[in-house]
Structure formats: structure tokens, C-alpha cells
Amino acid sequence: MHGDSTGPQAAPAASRRGAVPRRGAVLAPCSSWRAALLALGLVACALLAAAPSALADGAAHTWATRVVIVPGVTLCNVERRAFYKDLRTRINAALPNVEVVMKRMPDCTRARRSYWLPFMHDELKIDNTTIIVGHSSGAVGAMRYAEDTAVAGIVLVAPCYTPMHYRKEKLSGWYDGEWQWDKIRNNSGFIMQFSSTDDVFIPWEEHQHVADNLHSELFKLRKGHFLIKKFPELADALIKKFQ
């Protein structure tokens, strides 16, 4: 009879053959998958963002494909001065797939910041695939560059953080403004430092201050201001970063 509650009960809509399931039954697992995928995406983004500093403990930096050598002030002929050519030769022999770049710097006798930083970006193309080897003024330039740009690593040879008593250094612009030590550390995959206890131009206190603030891997040597033709200690330590 119409309205008889004792008759056969209708099957639930979701179980009828050919019926469309309720929306909630379909969307719940989809929502879970979407949430999981979103979480994975966020984790991947976080890992990529942390890449420059993730290996700050000195592990191998497999993403580095270039080494750029930034010389000291007045060392204009990079092919003949200091250890630059020998370092390139050693890296090329051990790491044939790694590009080594060194060029005559603009304003090479004064090494002003306003000339060097744009050149490092526009001409030397230093980025997060690049390890900077900076010597003297070049080391100061490497530190300032890493304040704003992520790099694969920096190797500081005879660095300083003040102009000391040198008039040319005071006019260079490198020492204007506070040092952003935290930014340098965070933007650098690793930091190695080579300093001499007998450096005739830079007192040890300058070297030590840089090492203390950057938590650099410090190599303490007796090689003056590193105006030397061969520097196997640097080459060996740098090559190990790729192994």
C-alpha cells in the first residue's frame, strides 16, 4: 500500500547500479591526494631554496660547474701574476668538466667596488653554479658579492674587512656600510679561507676577524700575501670539494 513502511526498503543511492556516488565519497580521497602533492611540492621548494647553504659543512658541491678567479688590486695581468694560472692548470687537469674563468678586471689598479661588482655579475657571470676564488681585494669582492647573490662557494685568499691605513683601500668603496656576515654565510655553499701569519700587508687580526664571523674553514699558513706562482694547497683543497 502507498506509505506502507513494512515493504522492501530502497537501496541507498550510492549502491544502486549506475547511480552517481555522493560527492563527498569521491572528493575526500582526491582532497587527500591533493594535500599530499602540495606538501611534497612545498618540501621540494624548501630544499631547492636551501641548496646554496645545505652543504656548508664542506661536503662535495656537485652543482658547481665553474670556478672564477678574482685577482688582487694591481695584479692586472692575470695570466702572469701570482698563482692564478697554476691554479687553473691544476683544476683543468683534475676536473676537465669544470670551467675556470679569469679575466683582467676593470679599474685593476684601484679595484673600486663600483667597477668590480657589476663586472663580476655581467661579465664573469657569477651565480649559484660558480665558486669564487678571491685574492686580496678579490677576496673582499667575493664577500661583498655573496652578500646579495647565492654562489656555490667562496675561497678567500688573504681577506680583510677594513681599509686599514691604506688610502687607496679607503677610497675603493668596499668598506662602506656594515658587513652582512649572516648573508654571506647563508648565500655560500662553503667558505674556505687561506691566511698567512706573515702577511706583510694585512695583520693577522684582520684574517682572524673574517674567519670568526664567516665560520670559514681556515688554512693557516706562512706564505706572505700569497704572491706566489704555485699554490698546491689551495688547488688540492678546492678539488676535494668536487669529490
Q: Is residue 136 flagged as an active site residue?
A: yes
Exactly one of 172, 196, 199, 207 is catalytic; which is it? 199
Q: What DSSP state is assigned to residue 57?
A: T
Please check whether residue 192 is in contact with residue 100, taking contact to mean a CB–CB distance below 8 angstroms: no
> What residues pair up with 70 in beta bridges, in sequence order?
134
199 is catalytic: yes
Residues 158/135, Cβ–Cβ less than 8 Å: yes
Contact call for residues 242 and 60 (beta carbons, < 8 A)? yes
Number of Cβ atoms within 10 Å of the Cβ of 161? 20
Which of 61, 135, 136, 216 is an active site residue? 136
User: Catalytic site residue 182?
Assistant: no
The angle formed by the CA atoms of residues 48, 119 and 77, to the nearest 5 degrees, is 120
Catalytic residue chosen out of the listed positions 107, 121, 209, 225: 225
Looking at the annotation, which residues are catalytic?
Answer: 136, 199, 225
